[in-house]
Amino acid sequence: MTLINDTSKRSQARFDWILLVCVYALAVLGILCISMATYDIDVSADQPLLNKILNSRSSMWQSIFFLVSFLVVGVVLAIPTEFIRARVNLAYYIVLGLLLVTLIAGEASSNLKGWLNTGLGRSIQPCEFAKLSVLLVLAKQLSLKDQPIKNFKDFMKIGLIVGIPALVVLAQGETGTVIVIAFMFFAMLFFGGVDWRLIVGMLAVVVLGIGLIVAYALMSETSDYRILRLLAFMDPEKYADSGGYQIIKSQNAIGSGQLTGIGTFLPSSWTTLGYVPEASTDSVFSVVGESFGFVGCMAVLAVYFFMVMRMLYLARFTNDKFGRLVIVGVMSMLFFHVFQNIAMGIGYMPITGIPLPFLSYGGSNFITNIAAISLVLNVTRGRTASSVITIQLPKINTKKEG
């Protein structure tokens, strides 16, 4: 009997340049789209592209975040995966503390209390960091055993890991972030080896809860902006002057681009004239649709789709369960952000304030997403090839000897 050690090249350590190139291609497009969304005709009409970017405060800051992101990538890659695994609980409690401070003493804007003033002229949004901290702690907890949830104690422990920060974020008014965390949670449970019947049961409870909220919204008259957004999603025209305004204007901008778009930095565009609310943040996809048309939208979607599939492929050939679940968590977080943002822009999902990764303006979100992708690169660069042991039996001569 012979043992053959078969080492798979697909699970060997490697730095995934393809994934990083996709990220920065989207980031460059994001700076351009933010510049167009905040374009000032009176100041930048006859200026070159660089001046248009620098003349916009939002695109200038996004460019700074872009440059800082290289440092973030370098720092995350310099930290061994085992060091990260050993200290995820500390990061979780620090972020939870920031969430509580923000809830008590944070800055309020547009029905949200999610910003914390740093005292340096900029504010941060701790709920963005919460997604990453929950992801890491959940990956560690699910990787401890082959069957992470065997009893009620295991269920409560994992539930509290996700539930406590989610409740604080919900109290801040950040419903979109809670939905992202929930989606990421179920995806990681599925890939983490949790019994599918338990996952289905938990999903049933969530669906029931959403159904009760919808029923409440339909039967009551309320001024809660989250309920109004839900009602506006079901009938945008009825709420055209309130909750449905953003949906309608975003659809108009995307539709005006037709096949190849109307071009960039046009003074008569929907986004330049300010008809689309939050065009540089939540509705940045409307800028893509208006400027680059259906072709541009499909190109952006193709890059996102490739990134999701690439991470699924990388997770498939990562043997360390913690590393694999980190990749799955990042993949699910990115996927839901893209799905929800684009779907709400074209009227197929309610407005939730979820930004489009690497395209929307915002330092906290951009740096969080860069750090998340850097974690994926860290895992794949430090992984070891799988060793598959196969058994080769000796041949048996079946011919009769004369």
Closest to 9 (Cα-Cα) out of 392, 381, 384, 313: 384
217-231, 242-256, 379-393: which is most confident: 242-256
pLDDT at 198: 86
Task: Say yes or no to pLDDT of 112 above 80.
Answer: no
Lowest mean pLDDT among 45-49, 93-97, 223-227, 345-349: 223-227
- Give SS3 for 161: helix
Contact 272, 334 (CB under 8 A): no
Q: What are the structural domain ranges in the chain? A: 18-385
Helix axes 88-105, 152-172, angle to 10 degrees: 40
Q: For 351-371, what is each residue's pLDDT tens digit?
A: 888 899 999 999 999 999 999
Residue 275: exposure state from Cβ atoms within 10 A (0-12, 13-18, ≥19)? middle
317, containing H or E segment: none
CB atoms within 10 A of CB 118: 9
pLDDT of residue 212: 76
The mean per-residue pLDDT over the stretch 12-35 comes to: 92
At residue 308, the pLDDT reads 96
d(CA 190, CA 315): 13
Give the pLDDT of residue 326.
Answer: 96
User: What percent of the chain is predicted at pLDDT more than 90?
Assistant: 47
Assess whether pLDDT exceeds 70 at residue 133. yes
pLDDT computed for residue 224 by the predictor = 64
Q: Place 394 in a pLDDT band, splitting at 50, 70 and 90.
A: very low
- Total Cβ atoms within 10 A of residue 214: 14
109 φ, ψ to 5°? -160, 130
pLDDT beyond 80 at 233: no
In three-state secondary structure terms, 3 is strand
- For the cut 70, the answer to whether the pLDDT of residue 8 exceeds it is no
pLDDT at 3: 37
Of the given ranges (69-83, 253-267, 324-338, 382-396), which has the lowest mean pLDDT? 382-396
Sheet holding 107-109, edge to edge: 107-109, 112-117, 123-124
- Cα-atom radius of gyration of the chain, to the nearest Å? 24
Average pLDDT, the chain: 85
Least confident of 18-22, 170-174, 298-302: 170-174
Name which residue leads in pLDDT, 232 or 250: 250
Predicted local confidence at residue 216, as pLDDT: 67
- Residue range 305-315: average pLDDT? 95
Q: Please state the rounded mean pLDDT for residues 274-280.
A: 86
pLDDT 10s digits, 47-67: 888 888 888 889 999 999 999
193 and 147 Cβ atoms separated by less than 8 Å:
yes
Once rounded to an integer, what is the mean pLDDT over residues 139-167? 88
Q: For the residues 384-393, what does the mean pLDDT come to?
A: 43
Q: Is the pLDDT of residue 6 over 80?
A: no
Cβ-in-10-Å burial (0-12, 13-18, 19+) of 119 comes to exposed
Q: How confident is the model at residue 14 (pLDDT cuts 50, 70, 90)?
A: confident
Give the long-range contacts of residues 164-168, CB within 8 A, separation 24 or more.
Answer: 164/96, 165/95, 165/96, 165/99, 165/130, 165/133, 165/134, 166/134, 168/96, 168/99, 168/100, 168/103
Q: Which of 37-51, 79-93, 167-181 tops mean pLDDT?
A: 79-93
Please state, in angstroms and rounded to a whole number, the distance separating the CA atoms of residues 334 and 326. 12
Q: Inform me whether the pLDDT recorded for 390 exceeds 50.
A: no
Least confident of 1-10, 74-83, 149-158, 226-235: 1-10
Q: What is the pLDDT of residue 245?
A: 81
Q: Extract the tokens encoding 256.
A: 């005006």
